[in-house]
């Protein structure tokens, strides 16, 4: 018995980026899930800077495989299952981890599935992703959601899982003075999660003063521009950097008190300025970095979402159908402070 759904298949569309700067909307039969896989009907898919880099050709060649259907932030409903998969999954609302970790290497066995030693393989970058009507993923990567979950908001659980990885790495404790550098999607989701630790201060630092309202709505006790934050050098017990701008790793370390901690969650380019090793040594800072999200961080984020601690919905500012992909991706990183999370809604 294959375990596949007997539902009549419908047509399926997907965005395919053939090469940097060139994409098309293709139509065909829905993809069939293989053994151990499920087919998910996509409800919503978020566009982030990594997707913009894929389209522009600025992503490291080791972390993308053209032609590709992008989309690593998505939510949907299981529509069909492959051989060996429980048919009861059909109809369940879900999200799924992006990294296709092997599960057996030394890193996976210690829980660091985002650092799988078998090599990089991720939905939306090396495998077809969620900018489509359907996406096929291994069933073992699913994180099921309650039947009444808001799938529009759930599309942001991938960046929420990265934020969870950063928060877990920082080990926040009650009464800490905490700063989050960057008021983008990742930073504001981290603010919501950090707020659960009852910090004495939770300051968001971002040059976009228009983000102050959202930061406070998400639980920040104060908002500063980078210029204003200079007077807070060596003030914070924990600093979570989420912006990935050229200078933010170095400035995050300057904000941390002696003996404090810094977590680098942003993705940095080759133009990033260096952290002063003498400052690290004299201040005895603990610096951690985050690459993606492990299975444990995913589970943490999904629990926070399903219990109501995490509400990504207010971050969404734009929604587009697949046919308007070019318009949607152009908004991301376009510099408009009014642009928050952009969704595609197949």
Question: 55 Cβ partners below 8 Å, 6+ apart?
Answer: 17, 20, 21, 23, 70, 329
> Under DSSP, is residue 29 helix (H, G, I), strand (E, B) or coil?
coil
Residues 144 and 164 in one domain: no
Residues 144 and 262 in one domain: no
Residue 280 lies in domain: 160-289
Looking at the predicted structure, is the pLDDT value of residue 6 above 80?
no
pTM, full prediction: 0.94
Residues 137 and 220 in one domain: no
Give yes or no for a contact between 95 and 101, defined as CB atoms under 8 angstroms apart.
Answer: no
CATH code for the domain of 234: 3.40.50.720
Residue 72 has a CB neighbour count (10 Å cut-off) of 27
**Tens-digit pLDDT profile for residues 166-209:** 999 999 999 999 999 999 999 999 999 999 999 999 999 999 88
The reported pLDDT for the residue numbered 98 is: 97
**Tens-digit pLDDT profile for residues 209-268:** 888 889 999 999 999 999 999 999 999 999 999 999 999 999 999 999 999 999 999 988
**How far apart are alpha carbons 121 and 103 in whole angstroms?**
13
CATH code for the domain of 45: 3.90.180.10
Residues 101 and 75 in one domain: yes
CA distances from 9 to 5, 162, 306 (A): 9, 34, 31
Number of domains in the chain: 2
């Amino acid at each position: 018995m294959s375990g596949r759904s007997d539902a009549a298949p419908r047509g399926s569309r997907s965005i395919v980026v053939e090469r940097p700067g060139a994409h098309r909307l293709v139509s065909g039969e829905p993809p069939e899930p293989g053994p151990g896989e499920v087919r998910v009907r996509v409800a919503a898919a978020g566009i982030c800077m990594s997707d913009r880099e894929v389209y522009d050709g600025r992503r490291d060649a080791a972390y993308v495989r053209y032609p590709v259907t992008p989309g690593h932030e998505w939510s949907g409903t299981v529509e069909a299952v492959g051989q060996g998969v429980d048919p009861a999954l059909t109809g369940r609302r879900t999200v799924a981890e992006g990294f296709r970790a092997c599960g057996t290497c030394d890193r996976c066995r210690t829980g660091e599935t985002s650092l799988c030693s078998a090599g990089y393989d991720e939905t939306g970058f090396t495998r077809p992703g969620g900018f489509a009507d359907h996406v096929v993923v291994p069933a073992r990567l699913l994180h099921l959601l309650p039947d009444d979950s808001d799938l529009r908001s759930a599309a942001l659980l991938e960046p929420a899982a990265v934020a969870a990885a950063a928060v877990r790495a920082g080990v926040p404790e009650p009464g800490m003075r905490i700063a989050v550098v960057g008021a983008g999607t990742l930073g504001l989701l981290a603010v919501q999660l950090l707020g659960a630790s009852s910090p004495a201060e939770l300051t968001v630092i971002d040059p976009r003063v228009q983000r102050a309202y959202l930061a406070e709505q998400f639980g920040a006790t104060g908002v500063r521009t980078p210029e204003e934050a200079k007077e807070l050098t060596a003030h914070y017990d924990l600093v979570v950097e989420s912006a990935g701008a050229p200078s933010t790793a170095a400035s995050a370390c300057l904000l941390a008190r002696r003996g404090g901690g810094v977590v680098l969650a942003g993705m940095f380019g080759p133009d990033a300025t260096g952290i002063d090793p003498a400052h690290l040594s004299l201040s005895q800072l603990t610096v951690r970095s985050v690459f993606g999200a492990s299975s444990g961080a995913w589970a943490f984020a999904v629990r926070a979402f399903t219990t109501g601690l995490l509400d990504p919905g207010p971050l969404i500012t734009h929604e587009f159908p697949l046919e308007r992909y070019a318009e949607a991706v152009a908004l991301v990183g376009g510099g408009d402070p009014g642009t928050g999370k952009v969704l595609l809604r197949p």
